[in-house]
Amino acid sequence: MNGENKIKFDYAQIGGVKLHYAAAGDGERLVILLHGFPEFWYSWRHQLVALSDEYTVIAPDMRGYNLSDKPINIADYDINKLVDDITGLINYFRRENAAIVGHDWGAAVAWAIAQNHPEYVWKLAALQVPPISVWRKNQSFKQFLASWYMFFLQIPKLPEWLMTRSNFAMLENALKNTTAEKDVFKPEDIERYKESWSEPFALTAMINYYRANVFTRLFSKSESQEKIRVPTLFIYGEKDHAILPETVKGVGEAVDAPFEQFHIPDAGHWVQQEASETVTEILRDFLAE
């Protein structure tokens, strides 16, 4: 991978969980990149290197993924614990705050950090996933059908069994066959992903994000409606089959702070890899403002 020699790897003990992370750069400001399902730090490989000329950039394997610890209980993946991991990571690097950039589940965690602990966030960038309040407001039957996998993943054991079949063919197809353009994920990229999925208990831990949070967040009335009060950026690849364009309408209404939104017409769900240079430049401009 181009530039991977600039990336260093280490572990951080955050409470009872040890998180593996990739790091690049030694700038004064801290930027944390949070991946989603079914990925790991590697989904940010392009931005991790590109932004390291100005910032200290950290891309952790979220708990349950790749080389990070994998607690065994579903409740261990409640979003509040995921939030605590990242605020703990900021403390670990002895910073008062960080720019939090999240994609997919990483975006859900990023929104929750900004909403509940704004003092830890100097800027927020979310990719593909809107705040939960916007998702709920826009929830449609069409989106419900597009989100079928969220409900399938609630079934015990069966999803894990199916995902391991034929050398992780289901997950491989989920990456390769849902991009707007072909050949975004090279064979060597897929091999990296398969290594991460092969880690003991990794598949169950990854799926536990859905088991711990989907019903409580999508259908609970207890979720905070507090607006985001930090400078915020939202990036959306318009050819996303999982999160539909109508589901991300009105993201700015959830933000009471400077807000920017960029739609990328020729990218899908894996936007920071499908349109890596565009996403990097948008992030660079946003972080510099």
Residue 222, pLDDT score: 60
The share of the chain scoring above pLDDT 90, in percent, equals: 94
Given a contact cutoff of 8 angstroms between Cβ atoms, the answer to whether 107 and 36 are in contact is yes
The answer to pTM > 0.85 is: yes
Taking residues 269-282, what's their average pLDDT? 98
Taking residues 216-238, what's their average pLDDT? 86
Residue 6, pLDDT score: 92
* Architecture of the domain defined by 4-288: 3-Layer(aba) Sandwich (3.40)
Taking residues 83-101, what's their average pLDDT? 98
The share of the chain scoring above pLDDT 70, in percent, equals: 98
Taking residues 232-243, what's their average pLDDT? 97
Identity at 192, one-letter amino acid code = R
Taking residues 64-89, what's their average pLDDT? 98
Residue 226, pLDDT score: 84
Q: Which of 102, 40, 71 is nearest to 208 (CA)?
A: 71
DSSP annotation of 62 reads P
pLDDT confidence band for 68 (50 / 70 / 90): very high
Taking residues 153-173, what's their average pLDDT? 97
Cα dihedral 122, 115, 13, 33 sign: negative
Residue 2, pLDDT score: 63
pLDDT, tens digit, 9 for 90 and up, residues 172-195: 999 999 999 999 999 999 999 999
Ramachandran quadrant class, 68 (left: phi over 0; alpha: psi -120 to 50; beta: rest): beta
Residue 26, pLDDT score: 96
Residue 13's beta-bridge partner residues?
18
Query: Is pLDDT at 221 greater than 70 in this prediction?
Result: no
Least confident stretch, 56-65, 114-123, 133-142, 213-222: 213-222
pLDDT, tens digit, 9 for 90 and up, residues 20-41: 999 999 999 999 999 999 999 9
- Cite the active site residues: 104, 210, 269
Residue 173, pLDDT score: 96
Helix (H), strand (E) at residue 59: strand 56-60
Residue 126, pLDDT score: 98
Residue 223, pLDDT score: 60
Q: Domain spans of the chain?
A: 4-288
Given a contact cutoff of 8 angstroms between Cβ atoms, the answer to whether 213 and 77 are in contact is yes
Query: Is pLDDT at 224 greater than 80 in this prediction?
Result: no
Least confident stretch, 6-10, 104-108, 213-217: 213-217
